Structure 1
Amino acid sequence: MKLRLQNFFIVFLSLSLLACGGESSNTIEPDNNASAEPNDPIEQDDPFAQLNLPDTPFNYANIELPEHLTSNAFGAQFMFQRPASDLDNTPAHNPITDAGATLGRVLFFDKKLSANGSVACASCHLPAHGFSDPKVLSEGFDGGLTRRHSMGLVNARFYFTGKFFWDERAAALEDQVLMPFQDPVEMGLVLAELEEIVSNQAYYPPLFEQAFGDSDVSSERISFALAQFVRSLVSTTSRYDVARAQVSSPTADFPAFTAQENLGKDLFFLPRVLENGERANCAGCHVSEAFVGPVPNDGVGSTIATNNGLDAISNDDLGVAETTGLQRDTGKFKVPSLRNIAIRPPYMHDGRFATLDEVIDHYSTNIQNHPQLAGPLRTDSGEPVQFAFSEEEKAALVAFLNTLTDDEMLTDEKYNDPFIE
C-alpha cells in the first residue's frame, strides 16, 4: 500500500516493536532464531503492510443522499411517512468522518479481535449477503451458535430511536457495536482484552491518530469508529433508486420498471382493500424510502418494534419484553430495513423463512392472532389482517423486492475487507 502517513512511521514503528511479546494470542512474537511457519504473523517495518487502504480516505462522511431520501413525496393516503433523513440516529457527539469510518472498517473486518482470532464483525455480517449471514444462526469464535439470526446492517443510520438488536437492548449503535466482542458465544472477550489486542497491532496507532488526533486506544473510541462505519452503510444506488430518480412520486409508475415490478411496487406502497372493506399496506411497517421500521406514534423515541403475527403466543423468545420487562412488548421484534432483502435469506428474527415466497405467504394467509399483534395488521373487528395475494401478486412483490438490491454499494471497495490475505 502507498503509505500516506509517512510522518508517523518512526514513532509507530517503535510502538509496534514494544507491543510484541504480550500474552494475547493475537500479539506478534518474533523469534529471530527460528524460521517462520507459513501461517505465522510476520513482523513488518511497514505498519500498514497487512492493509490495502487508499492514500486518500474513501468518502464516508458526505455520501450524497438522493432527493427521495431527504424529502417526503408520499400522498395524504399514507398514515405516516417521513423522509429517511429525518429519521437519522447519528448523535451530535459522534458524526461520521472519513478517518473515523476508515478505522471502523478495519475494526469491522479484523478477525484478531476475538478470543482465538477466528471471527470478526464481518463474519456474521457479510457484505455479499447484504451485511447479514446466510446461516439461520451465526457461528461464534468457538463454534457456538447465536440465539437469533444476524440482522442486515444497511440503512441502520435511519432507525429512528437508534435502538439495536432484535430485542432493542442496545440504546444506541455506539453501545451495540461493543456487545458482540463481549458475548461469550460470539467473540469471547472483555473490553480490556479488546483494547490490548487493538493496541498490539502496528496498524492501529496511526489510524487512531488520524481519526481522533492521537494514538490512544479505548473501547469508547473503538465504539465510535465502528458506529461511524456502520452508519455509512447507506443504500442509494439500487435499481429502485435509479428508477425513482426519473419520477416525482414513489407511487407513480417507474418507466425503468417492468409491468410486474410496478405492480409489486403498488402492492407494497398503496393501501390494499381487504375483503371486509378495510385497508392495509406493507409500507405501514417499512416506512420512508429507506424501507426501515415504523416510527412510534409519540414521535419521541419509544420502541418501534413490532409483532407481525408469526405466532399466536410467545414461547421461549419474548423479544423486546426481555429488555423492557413490559407485557405489551411480548413477541415484538425490531423491523429491519428491506434494502438488499432479496439476497439475505433466511428471514425473521429466528430465520424461520428460507425464501421471500414464504414471507409473502405468511402475510397473505397466515398472520396469527397474537395479543400484541401490530395495529396495522389487525382489523377493526380485532381479527388478523390477511392480505390474500394472488399468485400473480406474490410474484410481483418478489420482483419489486429484488429491485431493492444494491450491488454497486455492496461491492464498493470502501465497504469490503481491507486486509491483504
Structure 2
Amino acid sequence: MLLVATTRRYLWLLPALLLLTAVSCDKKDPEPPVDPPVTPATPYNLTLPTQLPQGVVIPTNNPLTVEGVDLGRKLFYEVRLSRDNTMSCGSCHQQSKAFTDGRVRAIGVDGIAHQRNTMSLVNLLWEPKLNWDGSANSFETQARTPIENPIELHQSLADGVRKLQQTTLYPPLFASAFNSATITEENVLKALAQFERTLISSNTRYEKSLLPGGARLTADERAGRVLFFNHPGEGGNILARGGSCDHCHNGNNFLFTSTNFTAPGGLTQYFNNGLPVSTDLGRFNVTGVAADRGKFRVPTLRNIALTAPYMHDGRFQTLEEVVDHYNEHIDTNSADPILLLSNTPGGTKLDLTATEKRQLVAFLKTLTDSTFIQDARFSNPF
C-alpha cells in the first residue's frame, strides 16, 4: 500500500517530466550558415577607356566579378560598418562630389575632425599607393584603416562582420561572391576593393575636345591648356610662358606618373608643394626619412572643380586660391625644386598674369566628368 501511495503521489509529475525531456531534446545550438554548392562567380567585364593606360594589374586572388562588385557597392554604402550605424564609406566619399565630402577635413562618427581632407576616389586602378601619405599598398588593406580609425568609422572590422552576419541580406551575397555564407574580414575588404576598382572616369570636355568633331574648348580654355602643359622658357625660348602644372600632374590621369622624376627607390610621387611644414609630416610618418618631411602624394586633377576644398589639409576653398598659391605664395625654403620656375628671367615666383591665371582655372574646369558623378553603377543602392 505504501508503494502504491507513493507512486500515486508522484504520478502527477510525469507529464511535466516528459515535457521537460522533450524541450531539452529539441533545444539545439544555432546552426552555422549553410554554404550553397560551389558556383563560380561571373567575371566582371571591365572596359578600360582607350585614352587611359591599359596595363593595369588586378590581384589574382581577388579577380573582379559581377557578384563581388555588386557586394562591394553595397558595403561601400553600408552604415553597419560604423560604430553607431550612422556612417559609411559613402558618407565621406560622395558621388556627387567626385567621391569627396566638401569639408575642409573629414568628420567621423564621433564628430571629430580628421587632420586631412578627404581624397577623391577616381581611377584608382592606376594608383600604386593610397592615402595622402601613401601608407596603403593595396585596396585589400586600405579600407581597414578608415573603418577602425577612432576618428572615422570607429569600429573594429570584426564587429562589423558580426553585424553583417546577423542580417538576412549579406550571407547570401557573400555566398554568391565568395562561395561562403560565412562572412570574413578578408572578404569584406576584397569586395570593397572590387567596387573601388570600377570607379573609372574618362568622359571630360577636355578629352572630348581631342576627338575628331568633338566638343570645342573656348579661347580661354585653350590658352589655359597651353599654360598647363608648357614650362617657362620652353624649348630654350626665354620668352615662352607656362604654368608647369604637368611636372606633377602629368599623363592622362593628371597625376604623377613614372614618365618623370624616378628615384632609386622606385616611383617618386610625393612632393612638398610649397606649403609650410606643419605638425602633419606626411610621407615622413610612413618612411621616417628626413627628406620626406612635409611631402604628400600628388592627387589626380580629374573632376578637380568638384572636389574643393583643396590640399591635404583643405586650406584652399577655390581653384583660384590654389593657382594663387603656386603663382605667388610658395614657400621657397620647403618646396621641391621643380616648383621653383618663373616666367620672369631670374625670378623667384611663377609670375603668371591675372589673365593667365583665369585661363588656367578655365582649363582645369574642363576636367570634370559629369557622367561619372551620375553613373548609377556607383550610386547608393539603398
TM-score, with length taken from structure 1: 0.74
| Residues 1:195 and 1:345: Cα distance change in structure 2 (over 3 Å) | same
Code of the residue aligned with 2:116 in structure 1: it is R
In the alignment, what sits opposite 2:250? 287
- 1:179 and 2:118 equivalent? no
Q: Identify the match of residue 274 of structure 2 among 300, 306, 309.
A: 309
Aligned residues: CA RMSD: 2.7
Q: Identify the match of residue 257 of structure 1 among 217, 231, 240.
A: 217
Whole-Å Cα distance in 1 between the matches of residues 274 and 347 of structure 2? 8
Q: Kindly provide the CA deviation profile for residues 274-295 of structure 1, in whole angstroms up to 9, marking residues without a partner as x.
A: 8977976111101211112343
Code of the residue aligned with 2:270 in structure 1: it is A
Code of the residue aligned with 1:225 in structure 2: it is A
Whole-Å Cα distance in 2 between the matches of residues 192 and 174 of structure 1? 15
Whole-Å Cα distance in 2 between the matches of residues 256 and 120 of structure 1? 39
- 1:197 and 2:163 equivalent? yes
Code of the residue aligned with 2:378 in structure 1: it is Y
In the alignment, what sits opposite 2:338? 376
- 1:115 and 2:83 equivalent? yes
Whole-Å Cα distance in 1 between the matches of residues 333 and 133 of structure 2? 17
- 1:404 and 2:367 equivalent? yes
- 1:85 and 2:47 equivalent? no
Q: Kindly provide the CA deviation profile for residues 302-340 of structure 1, in whole angstroms up to 9, marking residues without a partner as x.
A: 5521111112xx231111001110101100001111111
Q: Kindly provide the CA deviation profile for residues 51-82 of structure 1, in whole angstroms up to 9, marking residues without a partner as x.
A: xxxxxx9996422412x21xxxxxxxxxxxxx
Taking every aligned residue pair, what percent have the same amino acid on both sides?
36
Residues 210-225 of structure 1: pairs in structure 2 closer than 5 A: 210-225=176-191
Q: Match of 1:403, SS?
A: helix
Q: Identify the match of residue 62 of structure 1 among 43, 46, 51.
A: 46
Whole-Å Cα distance in 2 between the matches of residues 184 and 121 of structure 1? 14
Q: Kindly provide the CA deviation profile for residues 229-270 of structure 1, in whole angstroms up to 9, marking residues without a partner as x.
A: 1121111212222222338xxxxxx76111111111111112
Is 90-99 or 206-215 further displaced after alignment?
Answer: 90-99
Code of the residue aligned with 2:314 in structure 1: it is G
In the alignment, what sits opposite 1:297? 262
Q: Kindly provide the CA deviation profile for residues 204-240 of structure 1, in whole angstroms up to 9, marking residues without a partner as x.
A: 1222122222323111111111111112111121222
Whole-Å Cα distance in 1 between the matches of residues 299 and 178 of structure 2? 31
CA contact 2:232–2:239 (8 Å) conserved in 1: no
CA contact 2:117–2:314 (8 Å) conserved in 1: yes
In the alignment, what sits opposite 2:27? none
| Residues 1:257 and 1:280: Cα distance change in structure 2 (over 3 Å) | closer
Q: Identify the match of residue 98 of structure 1 among 63, 66, 69.
A: 66
Q: Match of 2:296, SS?
A: coil
Shift, 1:18, TM fit: 7.8
Code of the residue aligned with 1:122 in structure 2: it is G
CA contact 1:270–1:281 (8 Å) conserved in 2: yes
In the alignment, what sits opposite 1:245? 211
CA contact 2:123–2:253 (8 Å) conserved in 1: yes
CA contact 1:280–1:377 (8 Å) conserved in 2: no
TM-score, with length taken from structure 2: 0.81
In the alignment, what sits opposite 1:155? 123
| Residues 1:280 and 1:224: Cα distance change in structure 2 (over 3 Å) | same
CA contact 1:306–1:332 (8 Å) conserved in 2: yes
Q: Identify the match of residue 335 of structure 1 among 298, 316, 335.
A: 298
Whole-Å Cα distance in 2 between the matches of residues 259 and 60 of structure 1? 41
Q: How many residues align?
A: 337
Shift, 1:127, TM fit: 0.5
Q: Match of 1:376, SS?
A: helix
Whole-Å Cα distance in 1 between the matches of residues 195 and 357 of structure 2? 35
Code of the residue aligned with 1:257 in structure 2: it is L
CA contact 1:319–1:329 (8 Å) conserved in 2: yes
Code of the residue aligned with 1:400 in structure 2: it is F
Whole-Å Cα distance in 1 between the matches of residues 42 and 253 of structure 2? 23
Unaligned regions of 5+ residues in structure 1, if any?
1-16, 20-56, 70-83, 248-253
Code of the residue aligned with 1:85 in structure 2: it is Q
CA contact 1:360–1:394 (8 Å) conserved in 2: yes
CA contact 1:367–1:385 (8 Å) conserved in 2: no
In the alignment, what sits opposite 1:128? 96
Whole-Å Cα distance in 1 between the matches of residues 221 and 148 of structure 2? 43
Q: Identify the match of residue 360 of structure 1 among 323, 348, 352.
A: 323
Q: Match of 1:112, SS?
A: helix
CA contact 2:270–2:298 (8 Å) conserved in 1: yes
Unaligned regions of 5+ residues in structure 2, if any?
1-29, 33-40
